[in-house]
Structure 1
Amino acid sequence: MASPAADDYLKTIYHHTEWQDEQITPSQLAANLSLAPSSVTEMVQKLAAQGLVSHRLYGPIALTAAGERRAAAIIRRHRLIETWLVREFDYAWDEVHDEAEVLEHALSDRLLAGIDELLGHPVVDPHGDAIPDADGHVHRPAFVLLGDAEPGHRGRVLRVSDRDPQVLRAMQDAGLHIGVEVEVGAPGVVHVDGATRPVPTGAADAVWLTA
């Protein structure tokens, strides 16, 4: 079942456990996809019949090994395209998600391989998300959510969620780019290069630091 709709389900399930361990529930999946629970139930049953997800009635949903490979392949396409748009076409990091959503279903494997070669085989996208390799493998260093980091914690900005473009723009304006070294201060502030800066609204739950 290779279709944009099925791929969106697999990507959403993959994303949910990428930076935390709790499996996604049917209601969470429906909310993330902005779909009716009945529609989600029907598609999950189809994906389960294809061996792409495992699910028991009223329980959480998990990708099977085959489902994870398929999800990783689509996410690889999406994140390579985002990186390509930022590096080669000067897109801002808050502008690339919707474009990549369209292009990930349109580019051939040959063109995608050419983009990967052109970019020097990047391992993270503009938001710090790991780009799976051709075999679906990723490497993520140990991390901590900014909102969970204790005062005094020092680390690099590892990843910023691309779910809210407004948070991305606020991070950009605050100079909190991927790779920037920060020290967590009192609630709501971080220290960067000796300067104290407020944490943008919504960033505490959308920014990950190296542990």
Structure 2
Amino acid sequence: MPSPAVDDYLKTIYHHTEWQPAPITPSQLAATLGLAPSTVTEMVRKLAAQGLVSHRPYGPVALTEAGRLRAASIIRRHRLIETWLVREFGYAWDEVHDEAEVLEHTISDRLLAGIAERLGDPRFDPHGDAIPDAAGDVHREPFVLLADATLGHTGRILRVSDRDPSLLRALEERGVDVGHALTVSGRDTVRVDDGGSVVLPPGAAAAIWVTA
């Protein structure tokens, strides 16, 4: 049965391994969700009993295929809604996450299908996160975290984390956005679209992914 609480757990586990390979631990899951470890342990036990995750005591938590498909379905809803709000209602990319968190649990499948059709079935949301297709599959280019990119690396910005709205606003003011070309010119400086040097705000290098 649909459950916002279950969906939030599955989304968090899914998000954790989207842009890096290490599986999530129960303590990381608790910290991300802002819950007590005992609460998370109990829910993980329930999710495992439902066949949505696999977990061994003191080990990481991983989605089963059934869990992955359910997570991909709710993430598809969330990211289509974010894209819809930006394109159709003029929301800025730092304003859509909280709205989508509410709407993803309330809109009907029929409305979601209409949104997808109107938008032309987009593959990526405004932050560059891949939108799973109706079958739960995603398609990404090889990527590297900007913090791990070498000096002189040039790539196209694929994704900017939406975790910190103030960081999104600061990057937008500097002309750093998804789709722009970027060259690493220093520890905290880049050139964007062959323009002048841009000093990145604190934390930006750990929140931007570029083509490898």
Q: TM-score scaled to structure 1, two decimals?
A: 0.99
Unaligned runs of 5+ in 2: none
Q: Deviations over 1:44-84 (max 9, x none)?
A: 00000000000000100000000000000000000000000
Which residue of the partner structure matches residue 194 of structure 1?
195
Task: Quote the Cα distance in structure 1 between the aligned partners of 2:88 and 2:211.
Answer: 28
Q: Deviations over 1:67-126 (max 9, x none)?
A: 000000000000000000000000000000000000000000000000000001100000
Q: Deviations over 1:152-204 (max 9, x none)?
A: 10001110001111111111111011100011011110012231010121111
> Which amino acid letter does the alignment assign opposite residue 82 of structure 1?
E
Q: Deviations over 1:121-161 (max 9, x none)?
A: 10000000000000000001000000000011000111000
Q: TM-score scaled to structure 2, two decimals?
A: 0.98
Aligned-partner SS, 1:58:
coil
Aligned-partner SS, 1:113:
helix
Correspondences of 1:18-29 after superposition (within 5 Å): 18-29=18-29
> Which amino acid letter does the alignment assign opposite residue 156 of structure 2?
R
Correspondences of 1:1-211 after superposition (within 5 Å): 1-192=1-192, 193-211=194-212
Q: Which runs of 4 or more aligned residues in structure 1 lie more than 2 Å from their structure 2 counterparts after TM superposition?
A: none
Task: Quote the Cα distance in structure 1 between the aligned partners of 2:127 and 2:208.
Answer: 10
Task: Quote the Cα distance in structure 2 between the aligned partners of 1:84 and 1:202.
Answer: 28
Task: Quote the Cα distance in structure 2 between the aligned partners of 1:32 and 1:166.
Answer: 19
Task: Quote the Cα distance in structure 1 between the aligned partners of 2:60 and 2:210.
Answer: 28
Aligned-partner SS, 1:100:
helix
Give the percent of matched residue pairs that are identical in Structure 1 and Structure 2: 72
> Which amino acid letter does the alignment assign opposite residue 27 of structure 2?
S
> Which amino acid letter does the alignment assign opposite residue 92 of structure 1?
A
